[in-house]
Structure 1
């Protein structure tokens, strides 16, 4: 796919070279994750992981918020209609956060505004995060009777347990400066520089050998909780050592030229 396309759900998809930009475009709802928006995001992420043309993804949002989480208005309307509510991991479709984590293409979150509840979980599922100063991040689910299923599992793996439990059990927000200090945010830049910085990082990733990048992400994600001896033997993803790109990369380095990656 080339050019830009906007879906009825509010998702805007644009390919810039080997970087795919996914923009949440429901500013009037603070980019809340409706069921349609979640489905379109899952579809685009799965597509990006299949073809090989997309080598990095930038996920961002239009308006003052990155994402306010699940669409509570939609959930309430379904409750009022008497529809059964299914927990996140007990639904016919794939969990959005699970798909983000498992996408072999690295994903950079561009947080120009607040990322709370499911919006924070969405950012947490990404690989790198660029944020504006002073934005709010957090999981207020305990204050509204929700569960923060993904955040409850992932957040204690990323920051000290005491801080993670305080965020989960009290539900108060932290700032992007706090998150950077704990290692949750890679860069803090002025709000108007968030997307360009995320695009620069994604471009640098996309400029590297795609097989190596995929191998490294999959190994890091799947090996992080394994014992060292198991992680070292974890043979997942494409093998760069046996690839044409490995020979091309070495030749380009020795010949002092830019490599021409073929993804094989």
Structure 2
């Protein structure tokens, strides 16, 4: 069956299904893909749906125009301030944080960073498992320059790079380029802009070709044992058990019979 037509949500999020890969595109180029409240809510819904759908085995997130995302929609926030409405800090809102939902997605997530990736846009990229980026794009957390807090980035960034570097980026608010970021492991690799989305989709397809039970087990194990002692982490047994799954028997049979496996996800 051909893939269904793309769906465009009113927030500016475009949703596509390409075989076992879900492609989500931030499509507000006139606002540098700023993360409005509506767009955040749609990201929550679509990542939850991708995580629950048995047909989705990987998610690719990208943007259109000159930016991946410039972060929260500052014009929207200013309008709320002008109306005298209360601005709540990230962990005191009535809805789930979109960044937490992306981080907790049980399927592998890949960010294809097509342009400037700053503030909440950088935090959104950090929430994904794997990051590919176009050359020379600015990446960073300028929140200290405008009185915001970078709550998610302040927690996650020091887990991904040396503490001193994380603090320098947070305290100064200065950006680095994607070419610098790849040297620190924040970006898996830099890909020429015209080839970026194809590279991300190809990577997602290669992941999706593997046993879903195995991939999910690996992701949950990596995420949930990150701060645990080795002896405790080895005994945690999180996620589905690939060793006793139907897919394990199918994978071995397919390898010995020299054919493509037919995964059932169980």
TM-score (norm 1): 0.99
Q: Indicate which of 49, 55, 58 corresponds to 1:56.
A: 58
1:242 alignment partner in structure 2: 244
1:36 alignment partner in structure 2: 38
Superposition map of 1:108-187 within 5 A: 108-187=110-189
Cα shift at 1:51: 2.0
Cα shift at 1:230: 1.4
Cα shift at 1:2: 3.1
Structure 2 alignment gaps of length 5 or more: none
Find the aligned partners of 2:121 and 2:138 in 1 and give their Cα distance: 11
1:81 alignment partner in structure 2: 83
Structure 1 residues 8-33: Cα deviation after superposition (integer angstroms, max 9, x where no partner): 00000000000000000000000000
Cα shift at 1:3: 2.4
Q: What is the CA RMSD across the aligned residues, in angstroms?
A: 0.9
Find the aligned partners of 2:117 and 2:100 in 1 and give their Cα distance: 18
Find the aligned partners of 2:212 and 2:239 in 1 and give their Cα distance: 11
Are 2:27 and 1:25 aligned? yes
Structure 1 residues 88-110: Cα deviation after superposition (integer angstroms, max 9, x where no partner): 11111111111111000101000
Q: Indicate which of 175, 192, 195 corresponds to 2:194.
A: 192
SS in 2 for 1:89: helix
SS in 1 for 2:107: coil
Structure 1 residues 157-194: Cα deviation after superposition (integer angstroms, max 9, x where no partner): 00001100000000000000111000111111111111
Cα shift at 1:35: 0.4
Are 2:239 and 1:231 aligned? no
Structure 1 residues 236-256: Cα deviation after superposition (integer angstroms, max 9, x where no partner): 111111110000001111111
Structure 1 residues 39-83: Cα deviation after superposition (integer angstroms, max 9, x where no partner): 001000001111211000000001110000000000010011111
Structure 1: 4+ residue segments shifted above 6 A: none
SS in 2 for 1:48: helix
